[in-house]
């Protein structure tokens, strides 16, 4: 006979990661721990200022420079002399602070995807990042809460205070229907759970439905989680994770998971075949509306890219829609592959040719349009975007309107000049 009271409760994946990172056998949900990250994910946009701040305060050494990886991503290549000069200085600063790993312009990509592609992240890691959408790294079972400006202190001290979060478990069953994308699922989940529920909690994806969701899809699920205020997104590592990582990393790892009897705050079960493409209308990413309600809405810019929507899944879906068609004459279509690896893969598959022949602008990987410093929107512009958020001002003017959608809907809207689905476009052409 076992005594149910004496039985130790299982632990969530987040608990296991934070216990190890704080040098403890176990940690309880809700307690505050001082944890040391395995990796610092850093970006060239902010690091010049962060190094300067450290220097101004007399901090001449980082605690763990060997754990730092820097990516060029926010403005690649530089648009101004000022930015080019900052980036030139950055190389000196990195040398001064002993940081050797730098994915410079040309070998770069948006950090949250590139760092995974290059095999730096494995299940069970704690990663601290200077950029908000670092929750993406949960795609391989790493806990990656964004800490933004606090990165300065964490670099100096080598640690940070973190509250052990509660976990919301999202169990996926079945399979997405054709023309339904991971972005649709990700948006559905944040809208269904809502910011009050997601705040300070981890959204953990698992279940038999994960079998059909590849690493691109998993990145999207974890990326979008932060838009609902989640501390992190996680995907339960599985055989697909193992296959993906084996080809990319030499770092030893185990497929660390939550225990079945862990203390989950909330569990939801989703049948994937019930998910349908929706659009998030301004002013917030969880403001989902049916595409049919926006029929006829004129569009003058479409953006397919960002750490939320410029992966092969997105580029293939968009190319399928625009192949043999032309972008509407009143629309500017921007296609920005998320990383150099994606860019090269899209070139090999002939996708870039499809976009260019349709009248799209294809540019090198960068965060630009989703950050408002490349092809900025002006007053009154209407943009369909696979970017991260539709908060007013995000892509330029605060008087512009951003509608978030999957890449196929974005591409169809670029061709039609109005917000529409690929099916509606096909019907119109026929």
Partner 1 sequence: MNWCWQGKAWVFGDDVSNDDGIMPLSMTRQQEYDPAVLAKHCFEQIAPAFAGEARPRDMVVAGRNFGHGNPHIQGFLGLKGLGVGLVVGSMGRGPLRACINAGVPILQIGDLQGFCKTGDLLQVDFATGQISNQTTGAVLQAEPMPAAMREIVAAGGGIGHMVQRLGAGNTSA
- The secondary element (H helix, E strand) that includes residue 305 is strand 301-305
Q: Exposure pattern of 2-21 as b/e (b: 16+ CB <10 Å)?
A: eeeeeeeeebbbbbbbbbbb
Segment lying near partner 1 (by CB under 8 A), choices 149-157, 205-213, 287-295, 351-359: 149-157
- Dihedral over alpha carbons 47, 48, 52, 55 (to 10 degrees): 60
CB of residue 73 vs partner 1: minimum separation in angstroms? Answer: 14
Measure Cα distances from 362 to 64, 201, 366, 416 in Å: 38, 37, 11, 19
Judged by CB under 8 A, which of 107, 149, 243, 330 binds partner 1? 149
Based on CB atoms, which residue is closest to partner 1, 86 or 215? 86
Task: Indicate whether 288 belongs to the interface with partner 1 (CB under 8 A).
Answer: no
The nearer residue to partner 1, 93 or 373, going by C-beta atoms, is 373
Per-residue mark of binding to partner 1, 368-407 (x: CB under 8 A): ---xxx---------------x-xxxx---x---------
Q: Residue 253: which H helix or E strand, with range?
A: none
Among 199, 271, 298, 330, binds partner 1 (CB under 8 A): 199
Q: Which is nearer to partner 1, 45 or 352 (CB)?
A: 45
Site for partner 1, residues 71 to 130, rule: CB under 8 A: 86
Q: How far is the CB of 392 from partner 1 (least distance, A)?
A: 6
Sheet holding 232-235, edge to edge: 232-235, 202-206, 167-173, 266-271
The phi, psi pair for 28, rounded to 5°, reads -100, 150
Complex with partner 1: residue 86 or 181, whichever CB lies closer: 86
Which member of 65, 104, 156, 316 binds partner 1 (CB under 8 A)? 156
Closest distance to partner 1 from the beta carbon of 389 (Å): 7
Position among 89, 104, 153, 265 found at the interface with partner 1 (CB under 8 A): 153
Site string for partner 1, 299-338 (x = CB under 8 A): ----------------------------------------
Q: Is the peptide bond preceding residue 240 cis, with omega within 30 degrees of 0?
A: no
Sole binder of partner 1 in the list 58, 252, 296, 329 (CB under 8 A): 58
CA proximity to 31, closest of 143, 160, 162: 162
**Six-digit token string for 149:** 């400006």
CB atoms within 10 A of CB 312: 18
Burial 381-393 (b: 16+ CB within 10 A, else e): bbbbbbbbbbebe
Q: How far is CA 187 from the centre of its chain?
A: 13
Closer of 385 and 413 to partner 1 (Cβ): 385
| Measured torsion, CA atoms of residues 154, 226, 301, 429, in degrees rounded to the nearest 10 | 140
| Three-class SS state of 172 | strand
> Minimal distance in Å, beta carbon 411 to partner 1?
26
| Segment near partner 1 (CB under 8 A); pick from 40-48, 106-114, 170-178, 296-304 | 40-48
Nearer Cβ to partner 1, position 61 or 243?
61
Measured at the CA of 192, the angle between CA 187 and CA 198, to 5 degrees, comes to: 90
Contact status: 287 vs partner 1 (CB under 8 A): no
Nearer to partner 1, 161 or 273 (CB): 161
Where do contacts with partner 1 occur on this chain (CB under 8 A)?
32, 45-46, 48-49, 53, 57-61, 63, 86, 132, 146-150, 152-153, 156-157, 161, 195-196, 199-200, 226, 229, 231, 283-284, 371-373, 389, 391-394, 398
């Amino acid at each position: 006979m076992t005594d149910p009271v004496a039985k130790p409760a299982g632990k969530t994946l987040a608990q296991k990661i934070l216990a190890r990172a704080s040098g403890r056998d176990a940690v309880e949900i809700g307690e505050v721990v001082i944890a040391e990250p395995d990796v610092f994910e850093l970006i060239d946009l902010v690091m010049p200022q962060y190094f300067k701040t450290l220097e101004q305060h007399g901090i001449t050494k980082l605690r763990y420079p060997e754990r730092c990886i820097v990516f060029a991503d926010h403005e690649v290549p530089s648009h101004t002399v000022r930015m080019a000069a900052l980036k030139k200085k950055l190389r000196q600063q990195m040398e001064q602070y002993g940081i050797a790993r730098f994915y410079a312009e040309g070998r770069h990509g948006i950090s949250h995807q590139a760092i995974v592609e290059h095999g730096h992240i494995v299940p069970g890691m704690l990663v601290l990042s200077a950029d908000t959408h670092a929750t993406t790294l949960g795609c391989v079972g790493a806990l990656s809460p964004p800490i933004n400006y606090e990165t300065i202190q964490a670099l100096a001290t080598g640690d940070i205070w973190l509250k052990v979060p509660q976990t919301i478990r999202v169990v996926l069953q079945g399979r997405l229907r054709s023309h339904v994308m991971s972005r649709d699922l990700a948006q559905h989940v944040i809208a269904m759970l809502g910011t009050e529920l997601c705040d300070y909690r981890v959204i953990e994806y698992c279940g038999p439905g994960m079998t059909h969701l590849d690493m691109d899809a998993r990145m999207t699920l974890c990326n979008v989680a932060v838009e609902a205020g989640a501390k992190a997104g996680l995907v339960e590592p599985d055989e697909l994770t193992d296959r993906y990582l084996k080809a990319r990393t030499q770092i030893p790892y185990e497929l660390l998971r939550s225990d079945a009897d862990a203390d989950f705050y909330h569990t939801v079960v989703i049948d994937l075949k019930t998910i349908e493409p929706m659009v998030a209308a301004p002013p917030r990413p969880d403001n989902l509306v049916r595409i049919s309600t926006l029929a006829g809405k004129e569009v003058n810019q479409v953006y397919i890219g960002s750490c939320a929507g410029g992966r092969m899944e997105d580029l293939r879906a968009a190319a399928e829609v625009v192949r043999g068609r032309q972008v509407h004459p009143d629309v500017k279509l921007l296609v920005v592959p998320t990383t150099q690896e994606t860019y090269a893969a899209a070139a090999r598959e002939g996708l870039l040719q499809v976009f260019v022949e349709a009248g799209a602008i294809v540019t090198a990987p960068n965060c630009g349009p989703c950050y408002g410093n490349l092809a900025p929107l002006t007053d009154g512009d209407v943009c369909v975007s696979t970017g991260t958020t539709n908060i007013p001002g995000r892509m330029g003017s605060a008087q512009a309107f951003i509608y978030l959608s999957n890449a196929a809907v974005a591409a169809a809207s670029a061709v039609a000049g109005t917000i529409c689905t690929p099916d509606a476009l096909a019907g119109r052409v026929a």
